[in-house]
Amino acid sequence: MEKKYFGTDGIRGEVGKGVITPEFMLKLGWATGKVFEEKGRCKIVIGKDTRISGYMFESALEAGLVSAGADVQLLGPMPTPGIAYLTRTLRAHAGIVISASHNPHYDNGIKFFSSEGTKLPDEIELAIEKKIDEPLVVVPSEKLGKASRVEDAAGRYIEFCKSTIPPMMGLEGIKMVVDCAHGSTYHIAPFVFEELGATVIQIGVKPDGLNINDGFGATQPKALQQAVLKHGADIGVALDGDGDRLIMVDHKGEILDGDELIYILAKARKDKGYLGPIVVGTKMTNLGVEHALNKLDIELKRADVGDRHVIAMMNETKAILGGEGSGHIICADRTTTGDGIISALQVMETMLRQNESLYSLKADVEKYPQTMINVKLRESQSFVATAEILQAVEKVEGILNGSGRVLLRPSGTEPLVRVMVEGQDAELVNSLAKELSVTVERILSED
């Protein structure tokens, strides 16, 4: 069945528009409580990032859940992966995340975790959607749920993050800049690294409800680059607003994205003998990273874009490592979902074990030039790869002659088709991408 409200990663949109309203969140909370209450009295945890609308939606969800007879535990500002962890360890039936991840403050959204700290199964999302369309009926007063606040939520998660590297390994001697994007890791990430012994310079740690992801964080790493060079730091770590993305900067101020970090982690796990034959990336994973992995006898499997698809393929192939160039990295041997802090710790553990800088660890990866051009669709138009479009793609692939690749990918959130060409020759790649995008645009305009 096609979902009415849930997208590939929960429900997201602009605050006050569509379903991102207090009225809908009240009903969503009630519907969630009713679905889980069918198996007996349930407990749901709620966490949020630092955007101002989180207060409003937290209250609405709480009221809806309690009115359905569900007990609620409030975590306050908490990274998405922290909510996944606490959903498991607090033995909750589900976890709710109020966040729009790397989006600006005027967006917000809802994501769910199962009792195992994984994405909520499709059948439960569909059951919640079905309940949303039913009349809201409050349970009798004696059956109302209760709400409480988990006062030590941050401390619990900090200790878990620290436990993901060996107990006798410290970060003494490492000087680092940590950029929290004025998001949900502001009161967690710096303390994780400091308590492990690192010297930490903090930026992006003063949330005001409106500045989340604004000029800081994994999607805007320029501030991190500047701070690393200014302070002569060994590394920089940038997280996004909800803490599930990681971008790093080496001592020269050069950025390492998720693709390069996955390679470093894959090689380290391969060297220790427990990686397995497969690492999962996406259709957007850089071809140069795939070739570098192949040289280590590691196969890259490509999933559709989105951490839900990456995790599904990891489960299917029994891979312990996967992720995206955006910085969503899943270390399944450490946790259940993408976690920026834990991924950074795994990279730092590799630096210490091998006594190498981040700059030298990335030396074996030569990322290929990649050009992506957006071709607009009409508002009601859907993208279909016609015979003429496929012929144009084949022509470009023939010119690349095995040294590159082509990808046409419709956007999941905008009326766009993304035309991507990748290869070893930057000038050729750029020229071919422009030529192909013009062709695609012409064909679509004739449709």
Considering the candidates 67, 101, 184, 437, report the single residue annotated as catalytic. 101
Residue 123 in any domain: the answer is: yes
**Do 324 and 382 belong to one domain?**
no
User: Please, which residues bridge with residue 199 across strands?
Assistant: 175
Query: Which amino acid would we find at residue 123?
Result: E
Distance linking the first and last C-alpha atoms of the chain: 29
Q: How far is CA 10 from CA 98, 121, 184, 228, 323, in A?
A: 10, 11, 18, 35, 18
Evaluate whether 335 touches 85 at the Cβ level (below 8 Å).
Answer: yes
**What pLDDT shows up at residue 414?**
74
**Do 352 and 394 belong to one domain?**
no
Residue 112 in any domain: the answer is: yes
Residue 158 in any domain: the answer is: no
**Do 127 and 221 belong to one domain?**
no
Summarised one tens digit per residue, pLDDT across range 117-127 is 999 999 999 99
**Do 356 and 222 belong to one domain?**
yes
Kindly indicate the confidence band of residue 382, based on its pLDDT and cuts at 50, 70 and 90. Answer: confident
**Do 388 and 347 belong to one domain?**
no
**Do 107 and 169 belong to one domain?**
no
Considering 322, 339, 361, which residue would you say is the last residue of a domain?
Answer: 361
In 3D, which of 304, 243, 286, 310 has the Cα closest to residue 86?
Answer: 243
**Do 107 and 179 belong to one domain?**
no
**Continuous H helices in 150-286:** 153-162, 189-195, 222-231, 258-272
Q: Degrees (nearest 5) of the Cα angle 434, 438, 443?
A: 150
Kindly indicate the confidence band of residue 413, based on its pLDDT and cuts at 50, 70 and 90. Answer: low
**Do 64 and 196 belong to one domain?**
no
Contacts of 220 (CB under 8 A, 6+ apart): 213, 214
Contacts 24+ apart (CB under 8 A), 378-387: 378/415, 379/415, 381/415, 381/444, 381/447, 382/410, 383/408, 383/410, 383/417, 383/444, 384/447, 386/443, 386/447
Task: Tell me the backbone φ, ψ of residue 364, rounded to 5 degrees.
Answer: -80, -5
User: Please, which residues bridge with residue 111 across strands?
Assistant: 97
Query: How buried is 352 (Cβ within 10 angstroms: 0-12 exposed, 13-18 middle, 19+ buried)?
Result: middle
Taking residues 227-249, what's their average pLDDT? 98
Summarised one tens digit per residue, pLDDT across range 11-64 is 999 999 999 999 999 999 999 999 999 878 899 999 999 999 999 999 999 999
User: What is the percentage of the chain residues whose pLDDT exceeds 90?
Assistant: 89
Residue 173 pLDDT > 70, yes or no?
yes
Question: In the numeric block, which tokens belong to residue 184?
Answer: 């949900």
Return the higher-pLDDT residue of 401 and 265.
265
Residue 415 in any domain: the answer is: yes
The rounded distance, in Å, linking the Cα atoms of 292 and 204 is 34
In 3D, which of 287, 277, 345, 281 has the Cα closest to residue 311?
Answer: 281
Q: How many CB atoms lie within 10 A of CB 363?
A: 9
Residue 188 in any domain: the answer is: yes
Considering 119, 151, 183, which residue would you say is the last residue of a domain?
Answer: 151
Query: How buried is 175 (Cβ within 10 angstroms: 0-12 exposed, 13-18 middle, 19+ buried)?
Result: middle
Considering 130, 151, 172, which residue would you say is the last residue of a domain?
Answer: 151
CATH (domain of 132): 3.40.120.10
Q: How far is CA 6 from CA 2, 48, 111, 245, in A?
A: 9, 18, 9, 21
**Do 143 and 173 belong to one domain?**
no
The pTM assigned to this predicted structure is 0.93
Residue 5 in any domain: the answer is: no
- How many domains, the chain? 3
User: Please, which residues bridge with residue 243 across strands?
Assistant: none
CATH (domain of 379): 3.30.310.50
Evaluate whether 188 touches 160 at the Cβ level (below 8 Å).
Answer: no
Q: Degrees (nearest 5) of the Cα angle 94, 95, 100?
A: 140
Taking residues 369-374, what's their average pLDDT? 94
**Do 142 and 174 belong to one domain?**
no
**Do 335 and 391 belong to one domain?**
no
**What pLDDT shows up at residue 75?**
98
Domain ranges, residue 407: 370-446
Contacts of 21 (CB under 8 A, 6+ apart): none
Residue 402 pLDDT > 90, yes or no?
no
User: Please, which residues bridge with residue 422 across strands?
Assistant: 370, 405
Residue 306 pLDDT > 90, yes or no?
no
Q: What is the largest CA-CA distance in the chain?
A: 72
Residue 403 designated active-site: no
Question: What does the mean pLDDT of the chain come to?
Answer: 95
**Do 357 and 377 belong to one domain?**
no
Q: Read off the DSSP letter of residue 229.
A: H
